[in-house]
Amino acid sequence: QPVLTQPPSVSGTPGQKVTISCSGSDSNIGSNYVYWYQQFSGAAPKLLIYRNNQRPSGVPDRFTGSKAGTSGSLAISGLRAEDEAEYFCASWDYSRTVVFGGGTKVTV
């Protein structure tokens, strides 16, 4: 069972805004950064958001990350067909492990 909890799926129509939640605990998200990764079928994950709310160069500003307490969120605004992918959150846990969410499939 994944340590971080994400909804298995979210869906939206083009142009809509969708939000993916990532719930953790004091020992991970509550004390450390949240990262988000985007993975297309058959491909490697790609960094989407780092240090809670920072976007690597090349990531559109339609993707926004936030953190509050022991939860993180990823919002995708102006949803596009090309955003259809799986999204994973991750954090460092004080048990000295990297922990991931189970992944959320976004359907447009």
What are the residues binding other proteins (CB under 8 A)?
2, 32-33, 35, 37, 43-47, 50-51, 56, 88, 90-92, 96-103
Q: How far is the CB of 43 from other proteins (least distance, A)?
A: 8
C-alpha span between 15 and 27 (Å, rounded): 36
Q: What stretch of H or E contains 22? A: strand 18-23
Q: Nearer Cβ to other proteins, position 16 or 94?
A: 94
C-alpha span between 108 and 98 (Å, rounded): 30
Q: Nearer Cβ to other proteins, position 77 or 84?
A: 84
Q: How far is the CB of 100 from other proteins (least distance, A)?
A: 5
C-alpha span between 104 and 75 (Å, rounded): 12
